Structure 1
Amino acid sequence: MSKSYEQQVEELNKDWQENPRWNGVVRDYSAEEVISLRGSVEVEYSLARQGAEKLWEKLNSNSYTHAMGALTGGQAVQMVKGGLEAIYLSGWQVAGDANLAEQVYPDQSLYPANSVPTVVRRINNALRRADQIEWSEGNRDREWLVPIVADAEAGFGGPLNAFELMKSMIEAGAAGVHWEDQLASEKKCGHMGGKVLVPTQQHIRTLTAARLAADVMNVPSIVVARTDSLAATLLTSDMMNEINNFAPVNVQLKDSFTWKTAWTQQFRVD
């Protein structure tokens, strides 16, 4: 028997308040709004849920987890055979050789937005087939369905785009998804110049949209915030006075080059 709207709201509020998984997670929307967006039919996204739970456990029990970037399902199968406990799927891989436009692109978010979810699904299908084969042969010790962390680039637009992309990632079975704070229309690969950062609040809206999508689909996905602030030299606004409120080492910043210098002096990465 399906639960009433009121029961679902009550259970979700209780989960947010009591489940240690949500410690420190801030939402600017209500449980009522989440349940209203779910509809009357509850769909279970087993691969995404199990992957997210496994990944969260690893994040809280290990200092790190080995992973490699898989471009195909066959590569992912070999990685799991080799002992890796997670799979990474990068946007630059998809841009270069696995996008739905069937083109070879630089890492500039030029490919269709559903390309990465499509590869996530292919990888999970390959891992499921490998699991089925070994299971039928009586070998049931290997954990084939390892968590997949996928690249959502800069979200391919605004919060609504991020919401829909996160839904597609979950439907495909991704455990975690990372989002960068570059301006989507000017997206550049890490080694390229000309990267443009969006305002912090704009990036927070993207992350909030991703978390809302996961809540609506009732999956405890890992939402990763990624920044290009150490490499980017351009901003979408001239609000340097606002940025100065957060400047490290008490320096007044005149431009993003000064910001980069001050930041790297304070927080060296060796």
Structure 2
Amino acid sequence: MTTTTTNPTTPSNVLPLRGRFDGIERPYTEDDVRRLRGSLRVEHTIARHGAERLWQLMHERPFVRALGALTGNQAVQMVRGGLEAIYMSGWQVAADGNPSGMYPDQSLYPADGVPNLVRRINQSLQRADQIDHAEGRTKHHWFAPIVADAEAGFGGPLNAFELMKSMIAAGAAGVHFEDQLSSAKKCGHLGGKVLVPTNQFIRTLVAARLAADVMDVPTVLIARTDADSARLLTSDVDPADRPFIK
């Protein structure tokens, strides 16, 4: 595949988004994106609005405050209390929003667990917005951007691609992936964490960005690492990792 710096997704005219992807190389073409979209263009309004607003807030504030919400009512109260963004943790879902039982932070829940919670919270925020709009109240911006935890992607690049699509369809504004080995995922506070090589993690991130481009949403994609405390790596063949291996 060829490399292109052309943006397959066209952001709106929100000022901070102009030039957002300048200098970013994508190892796929606009034709690849169009081919994967299908013949019917589906709009993802909440995800697009959230991504644009999150990016704008990040340029207007030193930082954006957020708390983790597990229910729609919690999210409504957070926005009513003045928070401008909502966080969605995989740990929360594993422990208290898990149809498979109550587990620690080890990705022991269905891959659609976080997208389903994102969808429910957005539905609650949408209802709060409808009520205020009907009564002429404009104090709160109810569609607070949701930043969602995608763990280590629940597998390889294809899994990350499908998970990112599900996050966007549910209305997530930002999504973060981590560089742990998905099958050995552990909470960041625990020992025994296993990382994947840098270039393998990059493939996960590329798959996630491709999914966002296919969905035509400028999702804020966040890469996080456990390299500061992890001591294990699946392979030392990646030249990018060698300066940091002891």
TM superposition score normalised by structure 2:
0.91
Alignment of 1:99-178 (within 5 A): 99-101=98-100, 103-178=101-176
CA contact (8 A) 1:67 1:87 kept: yes
Q: Distance in 2 between matches of 1:73 and 1:187?
A: 28
Cross-structure match for 1:263? none
Letter in 2 for 1:93: Q
CA contact (8 A) 2:179 2:201 kept: yes
What's the CA shift for 1:133?
1.2
CA contact (8 A) 1:88 1:150 kept: yes
Partner SS, residue 226 of structure 2: coil
Q: Does 1:192 align with 2:190?
A: yes
Q: In 2 relative to 1, CA 63–223 (structure 1 residues): closer, same or farther, beyond 3 Å? A: same
Q: 1:228 aligns with which of 226, 229, 243?
A: 226
TM superposition score normalised by structure 1:
0.83
Q: In 2 relative to 1, CA 117–14 (structure 1 residues): closer, same or farther, beyond 3 Å? A: closer
Q: Distance in 2 between matches of 1:149 and 1:242?
A: 28
Q: Distance in 1 between matches of 2:174 and 2:182?
A: 20
CA contact (8 A) 2:198 2:238 kept: no
Q: Distance in 1 between matches of 2:105 and 2:177?
A: 15
Aligned residues: percent identity?
Answer: 62
Cross-structure match for 2:3? none
Letter in 2 for 1:144: W
Q: Distance in 1 between matches of 2:113 and 2:92?
A: 11
Cross-structure match for 1:89? 88
What's the CA shift for 1:110?
1.0
Structure with bigger RCO (C-alpha 8 Å, 6+ apart): 2
Query: RMSD over aligned Cα, in angstroms?
Result: 1.9
Partner SS, residue 177 of structure 1: strand
Q: Distance in 2 between matches of 1:167 and 1:58?
A: 23
CA contact (8 A) 2:33 2:213 kept: yes
What's the CA shift for 1:15?
4.8
CA contact (8 A) 1:35 1:216 kept: yes
Cross-structure match for 2:14? none
Please, which moves more after superposition, 231-240 or 196-205?
231-240
Q: In 2 relative to 1, CA 141–213 (structure 1 residues): closer, same or farther, beyond 3 Å? A: same
What's the CA shift for 1:241?
7.1
Which runs of 5 or more structure 1 residues have no equivalent in the other structure? 1-10, 248-252, 255-270
Cross-structure match for 2:47? 48
Greater helix proportion = 1
Letter in 1 for 2:58: L
Q: Distance in 2 between matches of 1:13 and 1:93?
A: 34
CA contact (8 A) 1:99 1:116 kept: no
- How big is each residue's C-alpha offset from its partner over 1:73-96, in whole Å with a ceiling of 9 and x where there is no partner? 110000000000000000000000
Q: Distance in 2 between matches of 1:47 and 1:73?
A: 15
Cross-structure match for 2:21? 22
Cross-structure match for 1:265? none
Q: Distance in 2 between matches of 1:220 and 1:240?
A: 30
What's the CA shift for 1:237?
1.6
Q: Distance in 2 between matches of 1:240 and 1:216?
A: 29
Cross-structure match for 1:182? 180
Cross-structure match for 1:5? none
Partner SS, residue 20 of structure 2: helix
Please, which moves more after superposition, 119-128 or 137-146?
137-146
What's the CA shift for 1:13?
5.6
Please, which moves more after superposition, 171-180 or 91-100?
91-100
What's the CA shift for 1:99?
2.1
